[in-house]
Amino acid sequence: MGNVWRGYDGVLDRPVAVKLIRQQSVTSPQLAQEFAKRFRREARITAKIQHPGVPQVYDAVLDASYERLFLVMELVDGVPLSRWLQPGLPPVPVGWAVAVAAQVATVLSYAHEVPVIHRDLKPGNILVARDGTVKVLDFGIAAMLRTDVTKLTATGTPIGTYQYMAPEQVRGGRITPQTDLYALGCVLHELLSGHVPFTGDNEYSVMYQQVNNAPTPLRQLRPEVPVDLEELVLHLLRKAPEGRPADVQEVYERLRPFLPQPGEDSSGAGDLGGWAGAPDPTVLYRRPYAPRARARAQVPAGQPVSAPSDQAAVPVPVLDTVRAAIREANAHANALLEEERFAQAAEVIGEVLHSAALALGADNRRVLDLRRRRASIMLLGGDYRAALPEFELLAEAYARTDGPTGERTRVCRAQAARCRGELGQVTAALAVLTDVLDLVRSIDGDASEEAVDLRRDIGMLLLAQGRTGEARSVLEPLHTDLCVVYGPDDEMTAEVAEALSLIRRLGPDRPQL
């Protein structure tokens, strides 16, 4: 879709990289809009990840005519990891491979905190700079933990590179940070053995193996690989996302024993034999920096605050002022959402929340609806870590005002569960969604809009876990109902039909490793 050129910043007197869309790629206004949207997302996502292992974005030119679409980025002087993985070359030293993987883990710890999933981690997207810094490139198809990113592809095929694609990506299921961990396991396996975990005559054969076959343990391919390192790679390559390490920080800690200590000589860990002058990724561990610390539990900004219990005691002019502020905040947020500025829109709503709760009461309908809108904006923008506790608090608040089976209570419980699903907590998400669906069925039946959404989410989560038999039992009757209620051409009907087609191609459930 484009080229990367070496450019020059005449104002700041520095070389830069310029990612430019090739005009031949823009064959229609629809395709041009898709490219522009992808470039805008890449610029925003990359700019959010504050880490030296991610090239900085200096500028983005995205004009309305789509004739000039380019990003101006940091120019990195280095070598792609794929250079050392060419056929016929021996595998790299163990210490060298571990240092690369540990640096990638460090970058991912910052990305997942945003939260951003790379989705296409592979040797071609990993570059070792001359000073030994590992750079993770091309966050252009990364998703901010959003499920609609596949709509940015022209074909609807899964995003990723099949040799490094996690089983849930192959199935078209829910993508979580554990998806990047699987890809990291593939890269580390290839660095240590010289081969990707699975090979085949075509991409479909490899993708089938990603879903169904066990990888060859590293020590069968390279006996000098330490036992604990082999176990880590096998752990990263487990089929079920929840069977992999809890997070990338755990991966880093398990790599640490194989890294040089501060002040220690590299002891050949950076020696690539015939590659004269090759960069040494171990040098940063002799002068180390570590991944971002795990986020601490914080009290959500929308938690109920002390407020007057007697609303009649609040002067009418004060109430009018607060209500006007709420209207203004909503209008401002709407304008920001039109430009996909989700974080700023959520902040605008948050600014009026405190005064509204003080004036109207923490459980006032307007205040709760305002908090619910802010949480929904967080969810839409991909900030699931912030949205999750807010939806859980809202469910408790609506349970007090509407009752535990009220519609708003159910919706907030379901939204909290969806956040958990996006964050990889699939078992907990399924339990809550199933419970809410039982309530909805008892009140509104099986084909209401709320029930249909819940059934679809449950089926897709089961599919992402590899529980294809259970997923099929949920999605087949759902597809029948959707055809009757919405018609075969409806977007959700087509989505469920595609998932069922994938289930049929994958065959029966396979044991999870």
Catalytic residues: 120
Which DSSP state fits 463?
A: H
Contacts of 218 (CB under 8 A, 6+ apart): 189, 192, 193, 225, 229, 230, 233
Pure H helices in 339-467: 342-360, 365-381, 384-402, 407-422, 426-444, 449-464
What tokens does 511 get? 């044991």
Which DSSP state fits 143?
A: B
For residue 250, CA distances in Å to 213, 235, 244, 256 come to 25, 11, 10, 10
Q: Between β-strands 69-74 and 78-80, what pairing exists: parallel, antiparallel or unpaired? A: unpaired
Residue 293, helix vs strand vs coil:
coil
- Residue 219's closest CA among 232, 238, 236? 232
Sign of the C-alpha dihedral, residues 444, 447, 452, 454?
A: positive
Rounded CA separation 402/371 (Å): 16
- Residue 132's closest CA among 288, 291, 290? 288
**How many alpha carbons fall within 13 Å on the CB side of residue 189?**
29
One-letter amino acid for residue 100 of the chain: V
Which DSSP state fits 313?
A: G
Rounded CA separation 73/4 (Å): 10
Rounded CA separation 92/278 (Å): 12
Contacts of 366 (CB under 8 A, 6+ apart): 323, 326, 356, 360
- Residue 98's closest CA among 220, 195, 228? 228
CB atoms closer than 10 angstroms to residue 170: 22
Which DSSP state fits 298?
A: -
- Secondary structure of 399-435 in HEC code, one letter for each residue: HHHHCCCCHHHHHHHHHHHHHHHHCCCHHHHHHHHHH
- Residue 139's closest CA among 93, 180, 172, 100? 180
One-letter amino acid for residue 269 of the chain: A
